[in-house]
Amino acid sequence: MAQAEKYAWVSLITTGIIYWYFQMRMLDGWEVVDQSPSRLLWVFGTVVAMFIIAEGVVAGFLASKGSDGEIEKDERDLDIDRRAEQNASWFTIAALNVLIFQLIAQDAFEGHSFTRFDASSTSTLFFLLFSIVIISSIVHRISTLILYRRPLRSA
Amino acid sequence: MIAKKKPPKGRVNNEIRALRREAGLTQQDLADHVGATRQTIVAIEQGKYAPSLELAFRIARAFARDFEDVFQFNPEG
């Protein structure tokens, strides 16, 4: 298994754990718990710090096993990374568009009953937007792992 | 609107595995020689990855062969 592929596996697991922690801090069942701005800032800072530490530890550990003290990457690894990044971008664009559509639909069809969220709540918006960021990172890792198993032709 | 042109049919086959065995090289030896990872050499040998022109030339040079001795284009593939 290529080092870049191992990195994707470990990074996927750590991202999953961090997202689980984030949900624990923000959700009560399926409901987003309203929290004070200082509490939200603390959650934001903790999650970002967890990402930086986890990525640093994983990258450092794999780099120490590489010949030049770096994670070995060649043109195929970079090609796969570029395509995975593209998939993550598509996910982010799609998710943001769904969010925008939902916001407009909530106002446009006020009388109708469908799943709604409180757009005036900072906690809800923070949870949704930060979830998109984290899930896009998960999409990136999963795409990487899938692309390593598929035949790859030059773009 | 810019229309994306569909790539025509065709496949690049290679003789890397046979040439490598003939030269008594392991996949790791070849990978080190051409500046790729062993996994990339495995993928190229299995036809799962089409290398860049630059890497393809490096591989041909590693065997001291002409490019077309190592890589062949099959337009029907």
Q: Closest CB to B52: pick one of A2, A75, A77.
A: A75
The predicted-structure confidence for B32-65, as pLDDT tens digits, reads as follows 999 999 999 999 999 889 899 999 999 999 999 9
Q: Are strands A31-32 and B71-74 parallel, antiparallel or unpaired?
A: unpaired
Strand partners, A27: A32
Q: Closest CB to A74: pick one of B37, B47, B48.
A: B37
Chain B contact set for A5 (CB, 8 A): 39
Q: Is A2 on the interface with B (CB under 8 A)?
A: yes
Chain A contact set for B37 (CB, 8 A): 2-3, 72-74, 76-77
| Under 8 Å between Cβ of A129 and A43 | no
Q: What is the DSSP letter of A36?
A: -
Chain B contact set for A80 (CB, 8 A): none
Distance CA A15, CA A141 (A): 9
pTM: 0.84
How far are the Cα atoms of A36, A58, A145 from residue A42, in angstroms, in the given order?
A: 10, 24, 32
Distance CA A98, CA A17 (A): 25
Among chain B residues, CA nearest to A80: B49
Strand partners, A31: A28
| Cα B76 → chain centroid | 18
Contact A76 B47 (CB under 8 A): no
Q: Are strands B11-14 and A31-32 parallel, antiparallel or unpaired?
A: unpaired
Q: What is the DSSP letter of B14?
A: E
| Tokens, residue A41 | 């800032």
Distance CA A85, CA A108 (A): 34
Distance between A54 CA and the closest CA of chain B, angstroms: 25
Q: How confident is the model at residue A154 (pLDDT cuts 50, 70, 90)?
A: low
The predicted-structure confidence for A68-93, as pLDDT tens digits, reads as follows 667 778 899 999 999 999 999 999 99
